Amino acid sequence: MRGTVVLAGAILGAVALVGVPAQAGATAPDPYSGSIETECSISVPAVVEPGKRVVVKVSVDANSPAPPTGKIAVSISQKPSGDIVWDKTVNYNGGTKKVVGPVLARGHDYVALARFFPSDKTFARCRASEAFAVDSTNDNTPPDGENPDGTLPDTGGPAMLWLLLGLSLVGAGSATVVYARRRTSPALA
């Protein structure tokens, strides 16, 4: 009889534990996401020459033997308004991807943004941005695509004049030295 009482007590204790509700805040959420963290990098010249296309270099790094694959969305927005002036999405299969952007208006500041979207859930998403400006000091480029009515770019004409003048001075100096040496050399008898 004593064994039956002990067995009944054990069964009642087990049933009582099953019926006890779990406390909601007793455990912390699992921070593990199940995907490999990635880090986006973006590179743009700090100052872009007017009339030249913006070249953006992007890459995605991960602590993985296989490179992350997917798509990279690259956009350029004007500061401070944040208006997107250009965007393009390219396939990414590892390494550094070079994306050629538009010719932008001079004298403005911009931000280039790259966002990585993995092809599967193996890798996590990432993003990176970098600010740059279009130079406003180059007078050979018309502002905002305007035509300067026939103004031609500098083709090196004035520089050629200085080169010819320098060469003629060097030639004249050499001729003077040769003449002076011949005059002072002893005559052969």
Q: What value does the mean pLDDT take over residues 11-37?
A: 60
Q: What value does the mean pLDDT take over residues 134-151?
A: 58
Query: Higher model confidence: residue 68 or residue 24?
Result: 68
Q: Which of 80-84, 131-135, 185-189 has the lowest mean pLDDT?
A: 185-189
Q: What value does the mean pLDDT take over residues 23-40?
A: 69
Question: Rounded to whole angstroms, how far apart are CA atoms 86 and 98?
Answer: 15
pTM surpassing 0.85? no
Its domain, for residue 57, covers 38-137
Beta strand extents in the chain (DSSP E only): 38-43, 47-48, 53-62, 70-78, 84-92, 96-103, 109-118, 126-134
Residue 61 is assigned to a structural domain of this protein: yes
Tally the domains of the chain. 1
Burial class for 41, CB neighbours closer than 10 Å (0-12, 13-18, 19+)? middle
State which of 14-18, 168-172, 179-183 shows the largest mean pLDDT.
Answer: 168-172
Residue 178 is assigned to a structural domain of this protein: no
pLDDT above 70 as % of the chain: 68
Q: What value does the mean pLDDT take over residues 53-62?
A: 94
The reported pLDDT for the residue numbered 96 is: 92
The reported pLDDT for the residue numbered 51 is: 86
Residue 78 is assigned to a structural domain of this protein: yes
Question: Rounded to whole angstroms, how far apart are CA atoms 123 and 126?
Answer: 9
Query: Higher model confidence: residue 17 or residue 47?
Result: 47
DSSP 3-state assignment of 165?
Answer: helix
Residue 130 pLDDT exceeds 90: yes
Residue 163 is assigned to a structural domain of this protein: no
Residue 180 is assigned to a structural domain of this protein: no
In eight-state DSSP terms, residue 36 is: B
Residue 62 pLDDT exceeds 80: yes
The reported pLDDT for the residue numbered 12 is: 53
Q: What value does the mean pLDDT take over residues 11-16?
A: 56
Q: Which CATH number is 130's domain given?
A: 2.60.40.1930
Residue 11 is assigned to a structural domain of this protein: no
Residue 103 is assigned to a structural domain of this protein: yes
Residue 187 is assigned to a structural domain of this protein: no
